[in-house]
Amino acid sequence: MTNTSTHRVAVVTGGSRGIGREVALRLAADGFAVVVGYAGRTDAAQDTVAAAEAAAEAAGAGGSAIPAQADVADKRAVAGMFDAAEAEFGGVDVVVHAAGRMPLSTVADLDLAVLDELYRTNIRGTFVVAQQAARRLRRGGSLITFSTSILGLALPRYGPYAASKGAVEGLTLILARELRGRDVTVNAVAPGPTATDLFLHGKDEQTIARLAAQPPLERLGTPADIAGVVAFLASPAGHWVNGQNIRVNGGIV
């Protein structure tokens, strides 16, 4: 078991790829013991665990990591993920809920079965993870959820995704107020266009170039850009930020 007197503990859902993976690596480098939550790709999760431990070693931080498989919408599986964190590391200080789906469709053409799957992961999944976080986070802890800057951009074909993330924002800001007296912060991070497999999938080079040109900084975000903000919110330096939705998008909106 990791020495909990010197290590804080983070649970990161969606930790096997994209932004979630980068968050797991950053938190490990910052000295956290990290539980890498994942849905199905055991090989990717194990690769993230190895990379997180390498990042911790390179930083001299002494962080460590373990994988934990869980469908975020399954309350028993998510409870098991938190149980694993407590059994291995002694408790949970930070929860980063990065798991999500992003199907693209116009409202008129959306298959409602796809909508149901989207809401199951993005809304129910957020609620299930937030519920465990609310019950188990130690004093001084943080829950960080993920919204999207698409809510401000209002781009066509993002309607279903934006609707699900609007629900995430509402839940996040209310939970921050419900945890009064617990010394636990609850914030949402809302990335803009970010160069992940999830975002780049199905887009041609012209579309990617157009989106990259929109922010005043004239580039796509990177997973490391987002992970830096998450790491700040998870740190003592960020603990006075609470009940906020933070758009991390290079000034696009």
Q: Is 158 a catalytic residue?
A: no
**Encoded tokens for 20:** 């979630």
Asked whether the beta carbons of 130 and 145 are under 8 A apart, the reply is: yes
Sheet containing 185-191, strands listed edge to edge, beginning at the edge strand earlier in sequence: 64-69, 33-38, 9-13, 94-97, 142-146, 185-191, 245-248
- What whole-number distance in Å separates Cα of residue 2 and Cα of residue 89? 5
Q: Which of 118, 163, 169 is nearest to 145 (CA)?
A: 169
Within 8 A by CB and 6+ apart from 47, the residues are 16
Within 8 A by CB and 6+ apart from 229, the residues are 189, 246, 248
State the catalytic residue, choosing from 38, 119, 158, 161.
161
Percentages helix, strand, coil for the chain, rounded to the nearest 5?
A: 50, 15, 35
- What whole-number distance in Å separates Cα of residue 190 and Cα of residue 181? 26
Asked whether the beta carbons of 67 and 46 are under 8 A apart, the reply is: yes
- What whole-number distance in Å separates Cα of residue 10 and Cα of residue 253? 30
Which residue numbers are catalytic? 161
